[in-house]
Amino acid sequence: MSATVAVLFGLFGIAVGAFGTIVGAGGGFILTPLLLIIYPHTPAATITSISLVAVFANAGSGSVAYARQRRIDYRSATLFAAAALPGSILGALAVGLIPRRAFDSLTALVLVSMAVWLVLDPPGRPRTPRGRLTHRHFVDRAGHTFDFDVPLRRGVVYSAGVGFLSSLLGIGGGIIHVPLLARALGFPTHLATAASHFVLAITSGTASVTHILDGNFAHARDIVLALILGITMAAGAQIGARLSARMSGVLIERLLVLSLVLLGVRLALASAGVM
């Protein structure tokens, strides 16, 4: 890898890390589709390996930033992470069984489906979760107060499925987890992004170790690229966490929808051989 390419990937990593932290998705939903487009002949297992290492660095850095802001609901997030762990391991092992073209199409389908869901269920609509609820009360470092009720058992079930799908696709899970937390479980958007990052750091780290043990880092280039993206995305996460605190929850969700549509359509066209 030349110095110029390394610098370009570094700048790319900072941008992806910042944006991924703003929307609470860890950047994997941007990184994986773009790596699939840049490296059309690389096995899906290698692409997801690189992406998940970078997502782990980004999510870990973002979690530290959110912890400083006192926006992580540790009780809920720890339960969700524990539920997602088995699926994250299985997903990392299963990705090698999927042909590359089918993997590209599946990733595009998931991204576009998420965008459609978010469009049909507009941001800002009041969320009233049902079932057995646990009340949560938060006052963050800036003095903002959050009072909300969470169906923890339902969140555990959702997280188990998210762990598998996110690890399988190498997208980390935040892209699915944040909307679920905010729309189905009643989390305020800013706390949803913080909790998602905490869960993401644990599950993507576990999936990364699984990929390493499974031998999916076949070339030195893959290791170097994962390290460059991991370091720069971690730096970008600090920027994103600060910007997120200044944005409204509605704006964060709209940015998420726009990015999903653009990436999903672009990847679908690439997998179809159009672009």
Contacts of residue 88, Cβ cutoff 8 Å, sequence gap at least 6 = 163, 164, 166, 167, 173, 203, 204, 206, 207, 210
Q: What is the pLDDT of residue 128?
A: 66
pLDDT digits (tens, 9 = 90+) for 13-44: 898 888 877 776 667 778 888 888 888 888 88
pLDDT of residue 225 exceeding 80 = yes
Output the average pLDDT for the chain. Answer: 83
CA 272, CA 257: separation in Å to the nearest integer?
23
Classify 145 as helix, strand or coil: strand
Percent of the chain with pLDDT over 70: 92
pLDDT band at 122 (very low <50, low <70, confident <90, very high): low
Averaged pLDDT for residues 222-251 = 83
What domain range includes position 210? 3-271
% helix, strand, coil for the chain, step of 5: 75, 5, 20
Q: Which two tokens stand for residue 181?
A: 């937390």
Bridge partners, residue 189, by sequence: none
Residue 96 carries which DSSP code? G
The per-residue pLDDT for 37 is: 84
Digit-coded pLDDT (tens) for 146-161? 888 888 888 999 999 9
Any residues with CB less than 8 A from the CB of 187 and at least 6 apart, and which?
A: 73, 76, 148, 150, 181, 195
Question: What is the number of domains present in the chain?
Answer: 1
Q: Is the model's pLDDT at 262 over the cut of 60? A: yes
Question: What confidence tens digit (pLDDT) does each residue in 182-206 have?
Answer: 888 888 888 888 888 899 889 989 9
Q: How large is the greatest C-alpha to C-alpha distance in the chain, in angstroms?
A: 56
CB contact set of 113 (below 8 Å; sequence gap of 6+)? none
Report pLDDT for 206.
92
